[in-house]
C-alpha cells in the first residue's frame, strides 16, 4: 500500500458555527460539491467528511485530481481548497517520514519556511507546536541553508491531524467564495433585468444560501427579442455560480401601457416598479418564495432614492432584499466582471423601464399619493394575473 494518497482538503466557514443545523448544512454542501464534480465528468472519486473538513481522494479517478479544484472552489459555503496528501498510517513515525518526503518534493528553491500543525484529534501524542518544532528541526537538518520565518515564509508546510493525517503546502490553497451552502436559506424571487445590477444582487443573495427563481418583465414589441435573450444569457451565466435557476418571463406590455395611461409621467417608473414587485410577490406565493430580491442601490437613479424606495412600501408583504443597497456602482461593476455577467449586461438592448422614461422623474415621491393613484387602477389586478398565467418558463 502507498504511504500517502493525493487528496483535496476542503475548508468551509460559517456553517461550522450553526449548532443543531450543522449536519444538515454540511450535507447540503457535500451534495452541491458532489453534483458539480459529477456534472464536470468526474467519476470514481472518494468523498467524505472529516472533523471540520471535506476530503476528495482520487480513488479510481481517471482525470487528474487537480482538475477538480475549479469545480469545487466555486461552491458557496466553501472558504478554500488545498491540495495535499493523506497518510495511510496514523503514527508519529509515519508523520515525520511523510512530512519530510513532502517537504523535499515541494520546497523548491524556498529560502524560508515554517511548519504549522493543527491537531484536531487531541488524543494524538504531542502538542501542536511541539510537533511543528520537531518536524521543523528534521527539515532544517535536510536543508541546512533554509531559515525559519514565522511571518509569510516562502514555504509553509501544514499538518492536520484528524481521523487521518493530512499534509499540504499553504501555497496550494485556493480561496472559495464563502457564504452559505446553495439553497440552505430557502427560496427568493429575483427581479432580473438585463442591467448590470440585478445579476450581481442575485449572486450575492445566492451566496447567502438563497435558491433563486428569476422573473423578467419584457414589453414586446417595445423591447426586442434580443433583450429577452440577453436576460436569459445572464441567467445562464449566473447559474454557473448559483446552481439551477428558473426564469419566468412575463409579458408586461399591456400592464405598462395601462399604467402609463393612468399615471402622471413623473411617477411612472415608480408605478412600474410597484407592479413588478406585486407580481414578484404573487409569484413567490406559488413558488414558495420567502423574499423578493432586487438590484436597487440607494441613490443610483431617481427611482432608487431613499424616498423612492420608501414609495415601494406595501407593494408586497414579503421582505425585499436589496443586496446592493449600499454599493457604489464601481464595486457593482467589479463584481459583475468577476462573475462574468458584465459583458452580457452591457449589450445595448433597452429594458422596459427605459422605454417610457419621463424627462423629470420624481426623486421625492410620497407614498400616500402613489397609493391613491394605484387605488384607482381597477383593471390592474386582472391584467397582472393574466400576464402571470401566460408567462414563459425557462430553466438553467
Ligand atoms: P439593473 O442594472 O439591475 O437593471 P438599474 O440600475 O437599471 O438596475 P432600474 O431599472 O431602476 O435600475 O431597476 C432596479 C431594479 O428593478 C433592478 O435591479 C431589477 O431588480 C428590477 N427591474 C428593473 N427592470 C426590470 C425588468 N424589466 N424585469 C425584472 N426586474 C426589473
Ligand atoms: Mg435596469
Q: Over the stretch 312-367, which tens digit does the pLDDT of each residue have?
A: 999 999 999 999 999 999 999 999 999 999 999 999 876 655 666 788 888 999 99
Contact 244, 220 (CB under 8 A): no
CA nearest ligand 1 atom 31, residue? 193
Q: Indicate the pTM of the whole model.
A: 0.90
Query: Is a pLDDT exceeding 90 seen at residue 137?
Result: yes
Q: With a 6 A CB cut-off, is 56 part of the ligand 1 pocket?
A: no
CA 296 to ligand 1 centroid distance, Å: 7
Q: With a 6 A CB cut-off, is 351 part of the ligand 1 pocket?
A: yes
Query: According to the model, what pLDDT value does residue 352 have?
Result: 58
Separation CA 108–CA 14 (nearest Å) = 34
Query: According to the model, what pLDDT value does residue 229 have?
Result: 96
Query: According to the model, what pLDDT value does residue 325 have?
Result: 98
CA 337 to ligand 1 centroid distance, Å: 18
Query: According to the model, what pLDDT value does residue 1 have?
Result: 66
Q: Which residues pair with 248 in a beta bridge?
A: 215, 393
CA 212 to ligand 1 centroid distance, Å: 16
CA nearest ligand 1 atom 14, residue? 296
Q: Which of 59-63, 210-214, 220-224, 245-249 has the lowest mean pLDDT?
A: 59-63
Query: Is a pLDDT exceeding 80 seen at residue 66?
Result: yes
Q: With a 6 A CB cut-off, is 352 part of the ligand 1 pocket?
A: yes
Query: According to the model, what pLDDT value does residue 23 have?
Result: 87
Q: Give the percent of the chain with pLDDT over 90.
A: 85
Angle value at C-alpha 157, between 165 and 85, nearest 5 degrees: 40
Query: Is a pLDDT exceeding 70 seen at residue 16?
Result: no
Q: With a 6 A CB cut-off, is 193 part of the ligand 1 pocket?
A: yes
DSSP state of 76: T
Separation CA 58–CA 89 (nearest Å) = 17
Q: With a 6 A CB cut-off, is 303 part of the ligand 1 pocket?
A: yes
Q: Which of 77-81, 116-120, 257-261, 356-360 has the lowest mean pLDDT?
A: 356-360
Query: Is a pLDDT exceeding 90 seen at residue 267?
Result: yes
Query: According to the model, what pLDDT value does residue 387 have?
Result: 98
Q: With a 6 A CB cut-off, is 292 part of the ligand 1 pocket?
A: no
Query: According to the model, what pLDDT value does residue 15 have?
Result: 65
Q: Which of 72-76, 124-128, 299-303 has the lowest mean pLDDT?
A: 299-303
Q: With a 6 A CB cut-off, is 365 part of the ligand 1 pocket?
A: no
Contact 252, 219 (CB under 8 A): yes
CA distances from 172 to 34, 93, 100, 232 (A): 21, 25, 17, 36
Query: According to the model, what pLDDT value does residue 321 have?
Result: 98
Query: Is a pLDDT exceeding 60 seen at residue 278?
Result: yes
Separation CA 305–CA 312 (nearest Å) = 11
Q: Which ligand is nearest to the CA of 300?
A: 1
Query: According to the model, what pLDDT value does residue 63 have?
Result: 84
Amino acid at each position: 500500500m502507498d504511504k500517502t494518497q493525493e487528496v483535496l482538503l476542503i475548508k468551509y466557514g460559517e456553517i461550522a458555527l450553526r449548532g443543531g443545523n450543522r449536519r444538515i448544512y454540511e450535507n447540503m454542501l457535500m451534495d452541491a460539491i458532489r453534483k458539480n464534480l459529477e456534472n464536470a465528468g468526474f467519476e470514481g472519486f472518494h468523498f467524505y467528511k472529516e472533523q471540520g473538513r471535506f476530503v476528495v481522494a482520487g480513488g479510481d479517478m481517471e482525470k487528474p485530481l487537480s482538475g477538480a479544484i475549479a469545480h469545487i472552489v466555486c461552491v458557496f459555503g466553501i472558504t478554500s481548497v488545498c491540495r495535499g496528501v493523506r497518510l495511510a498510517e496514523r503514527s508519529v513515525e509515519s508523520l515525520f517520514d511523510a512530512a519530510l518526503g513532502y517537504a523535499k518534493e515541494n520546497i523548491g528553491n524556498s529560502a524560508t519556511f515554517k511548519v504549522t500543525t493543527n491537531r484536531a484529534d487531541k488524543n494524538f501524542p504531542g502538542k501542536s507546536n511541539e510537533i511543528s518544532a520537531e518536524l521543523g528541526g528534521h527539515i532544517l537538518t535536510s536543508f541546512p541553508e533554509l531559515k525559519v520565518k514565522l511571518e509569510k515564509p516562502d514555504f509553509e508546510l501544514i499538518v492536520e491531524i484528524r481521523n487521518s493525517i493530512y499534509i499540504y503546502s499553504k501555497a496550494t490553497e485556493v480561496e472559495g467564495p464563502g457564504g452559505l451552502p446553495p439553497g440552505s436559506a430557502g427560496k427568493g424571487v429575483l427581479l432580473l433585468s438585463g442591467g448590470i445590477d440585478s445579476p450581481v444582487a442575485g449572486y450575492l443573495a445566492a451566496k447567502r444560501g438563497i435558491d433563486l427563481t428569476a422573473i423578467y418583465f419584457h414589453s414586446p414589441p417595445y423591447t426586442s427579442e434580443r433583450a429577452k435573450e440577453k436576460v436569459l444569457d445572464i441567467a445562464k451565466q449566473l447559474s454557473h455560480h448559483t446552481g439551477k435557476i428558473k426564469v419566468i418571463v412575463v409579458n408586461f406590455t399591456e400592464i405598462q401601457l395601462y399604467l402609463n395611461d393612468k399615471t402622471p409621467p413623473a411617477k411612472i417608473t415608480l408605478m412600474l416598479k410597484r407592479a413588478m414587485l406585486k407580481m414578484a410577490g404573487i409569484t413567490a406565493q406559488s413558488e414558495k418564495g420567502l423574499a423578493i430580491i432586487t438590484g436597487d442601490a440607494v441613490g443610483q437613479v431617481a427611482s432608487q432614492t431613499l424616498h423612492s424606495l420608501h414609495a415601494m412600501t406595501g407593494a408586497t408583504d414579503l421582505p425585499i432584499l436589496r443586496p446592493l443597497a449600499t454599493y457604489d456602482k464601481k464595486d457593482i461593476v467589479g463584481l459583475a466582471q468577476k462573475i462574468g455577467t458584465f459583458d452580457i449586461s452591457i449589450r445595448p438592448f433597452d429594458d422596459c423601464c427605459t422605454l417610457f422614461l419621463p424627462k423629470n422623474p420624481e426623486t421625492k415621491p410620497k407614498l400616500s399619493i402613489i397609493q391613491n393613484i394605484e387605488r384607482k387602477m381597477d383593471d390592474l389586478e386582472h391584467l397582472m394575473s393574466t400576464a402571470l398565467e401566460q408567462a414563459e418558463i425557462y430553466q438553467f
